[in-house]
Structure 1
Amino acid sequence: MVKEGLLDTNIFFNIWRKEIDPNTKKELWRGSKELIDKISQGRVRAFLCIVSLMEIAVVIRKAGEELKKPEREIEEELSDRLDEINRIPNLGILLPTSIDLAIAWSYLYEKKLTPFDSIILSSASALQIPIITRDNKLKEKARGVVEFYEPEEFLSDTGK
């Protein structure tokens, strides 16, 4: 049986920014890249919530504005990144249901999550699949709702 998981946005930013943990010097982007490769090969089935695409747009636009990039350059980067995601085989785009959104509201309020995190949490819970993330705040606040894995943990038994 192929493992399934819901990806958080930080998996993509790990890769795009070639992120390295400043304390351990671990190359975070490598595990995230390996995960995307396994998804592309069909060895892992993954989902990305539509609101995660929105979050990616918000982050790219905000970073571009802070760096005073021209709007055209920011929008080109955003378009390139979204196209890159859309070309990943075996990555399904998940549309939350009205029930997911109602449950997300309770997570936003009770667990003090962002709107983005509350929606991916409710979506993962509805599908009964884990969230693959490096977001320790999300993991802590949402403990007990779904399982959480970092990319390396998730891949540990998928036959690297």
Structure 2
Amino acid sequence: MKTDTYQPSCYSLPASWAIGTALLSVAVSEVTATFVRPMYGKGQGLIPELLGVLPNFLAGFHLPFILLGAYYWFMLDLERTHPEALQSAELSRSQITGAFLAVSVLTMAGLTLWEFLQIGSNLVYDHKDLAATIGGSIASVLFFTKTFLVENKQALQQP
């Protein structure tokens, strides 16, 4: 009988996947902020608008993956140093999905709060940045459910 529990011996694949996804997103964000926005982000039009909100979108996207990767690296270390502690630490797909959803919501709430804290300060509040943050958080959940859960279905099942 198969269940949908996660085997602790399989932490390395999700850790690498989550950290790799986050690092790729951070790299795109940095390249955009450092090279692309200064060259193409000036003026009016669709490209400057998209480049203006891209950092917010990517922050909403990659922060949950950074936190997920940190959790899995912690579990890998715990498995290596105290394997007896993980003998009963099996996680189901629904628990992993619920945790990722919770982290995504908390990330979106924190980034939204940051956007509102900019009102009345020297920083610029922009409703487009707010929408991009929410869009990035939604995209992270969709990407997570379509890739991680589908690609790791076998690792998330116990024979």
TM-score (norm 1): 0.30
Structure number with the higher strand fraction is: 1
- Using structure 2 for the length normalisation, give the TM-score: 0.30
- Structure number with higher helix proportion: 2
